[in-house]
Amino acid sequence: MTTSTAQASPNIALIKYWGNRDHFLRIPSNSSLSMNLDGLVSRTQVSFDPGLEADRLTLNEQEIIGPALQRVSVLLERVRGMAGLKQFANVTSSNNFPIGTGIASSASAFAALTVAATAAAGLKLTTQELSRLARTASGSACRSIPAGFVEWQAGQDDADSYAFSIAPPDHWDLGDCIAITSETHKPVGSTEGHTLADSSPLQAARVATTPQRLAQCRRAVLERDFDALADVVELDANMMHAVMITSAPPLLYWQPATLAVMHAVQDWRSSGLPVCYTIDAGPNVHVLCPGEKVDLVAARLRQIPGVNDVLTAHPGGGAHCLPAC
Ligand code: DP6
């Protein structure tokens, strides 16, 4: 029996991934850019065991069956195929943050699973190969493999669709204050959401103009230019939500408290505080600010009615084995 444990952090997309050109392989419609979130972690242990008759998954101390187990098994099948292994695996995973709320738990979960499963299977993969493999399980997971600020080049096919680091975590202390407005599981997950993206008349325009926003965002990150970052990050999130709201059926993830935070952030910025918001496929709001403003921004967010909690994070490292593999 071979066992490995790995840890990965979720990431917040500054330029969003929404829609696939190939849903099976998760070749995205556009490139995206993100930051890993330090302190929030998924930790996953994988043991290939000759005594098992099927894969088993325990998530946050609960045995999981059905579609979630199936999704894990699809990745394990790929790993078995690569390693020439026949044994099923016992997978035990835990998160230290609420899942299914717009904090991308699938990203950290599948990044950690990819690293743990390949290590347990005895494979020695490069960061690029790990990123490609994680991508097939959850698109955004490919961005949780490399460290710090990460770009996912959409590419054309499985071989050239992967993420790479554009700057290490210590390049820029950008803070993320996550205003939790709901901890309930979202009604339509991102996997289903991606299949609806092309039904919006706005998706083609969003995809066509992403390269410009990506270039602006990359430059803002590399030059640590918060004002430039704020403009492009909010524009890109708003464009993704415009696509979501106008798809068939429409996806409206915002709750009243989501809007309250968006208004507050814009007011604070007008009065000189460097903040901006971005929102994934859920009602929570990620409020970005220079690292030294995190405590102030988190305290302000806690005073907004409907904000139940605020998690804070700084730029984080990549997925890795515990101990190193
Ligand atoms: C809105 O990576 O969660 O968070 O590939 O089906 O797992 P799957 O989708 P996922 O989609 C992320 C969508 C997003 C934007 C982003 O993180 O870029």
State how many domains the chain has. Answer: 2
Under 8 Å between Cβ of 282 and 149? no
| End-to-end Cα separation, the chain, in angstroms | 17
Taking only the tens place, the pLDDT of each residue in 266-285 is 999 999 999 999 999 999 99
Residue 255 region by backbone torsions, left for phi larger than 0, else alpha for psi between -120 and 50, else beta: beta
Taking only the tens place, the pLDDT of each residue in 220-235 is 999 999 999 999 999 9
* Whole-Å CA distances, 124 to 48, 129, 188: 16, 9, 36
* Same domain, yes or no: 129 and 209: no
CATH for 76: 3.30.230.10
Under 8 Å between Cβ of 282 and 107? no
Listing DSSP states for 21-48 in one string gives EETTTTEESS-EEEEEBTT--EEEEEEE
Report the residue among 42, 190, 207 best suited for mutation to probe ligand 1: largest number of ligand atoms under 8 A from its CB: 190
Domain extent, residue 88, equals 2-170
Nearest-CA residue for ligand 1 atom 7 is 138
CATH for 283: 3.30.70.890
* Same domain, yes or no: 224 and 101: no
Q: Per the domain annotation, does 103 fall within a domain? A: yes
pLDDT value of residue 182: 76
Taking only the tens place, the pLDDT of each residue in 284-311 is 999 999 999 999 999 999 999 999 999 9
Q: Which tokens sit at 262?
A: 């968006």
> How far away, in angstroms, is 298 Cα from ligand 1 center?
25
3-state SS string for 233-274 = HHHHHHHHHHHHHCCCCCCCCCCHHHHHHHHHHHHHHHCCCC
Residues near ligand 1 (Cβ within 6 A) = 13, 16-18, 26, 32, 104, 106-107, 138-140, 190-191, 194, 280-281
Rounded-to-integer distance, Cα 57 and Cα 127, Å: 25
Under 8 Å between Cβ of 166 and 281? no
Q: Per the domain annotation, does 319 fall within a domain? A: no
Per-residue pLDDT, averaged over 232-256, amounts to: 97
Mean pLDDT of the chain: 95
* Same domain, yes or no: 179 and 124: no
pLDDT value of residue 102: 54
* Same domain, yes or no: 147 and 289: no
Examine the pLDDT at 168 and tell me if it is beyond 80: yes
* Same domain, yes or no: 158 and 83: yes
* Same domain, yes or no: 213 and 238: yes
Report the residue among 140, 153, 186, 245 best suited for mutation to probe ligand 1: largest number of ligand atoms under 8 A from its CB: 140
pTM: 0.96
- At 98, the pLDDT band (50, 70, 90 cuts) reads low
* Same domain, yes or no: 84 and 115: yes
* Same domain, yes or no: 151 and 199: no
From 107, 136, 170, the end of a domain falls on 170
Q: Per the domain annotation, does 322 fall within a domain? A: no
As beta bridge partners, residue 177 has 287, 312
Which residue has better confidence, 116 or 189?
Answer: 116
Q: Per the domain annotation, does 321 fall within a domain? A: no
Q: Per the domain annotation, does 166 fall within a domain? A: yes
From 140, 170, 200, the end of a domain falls on 170
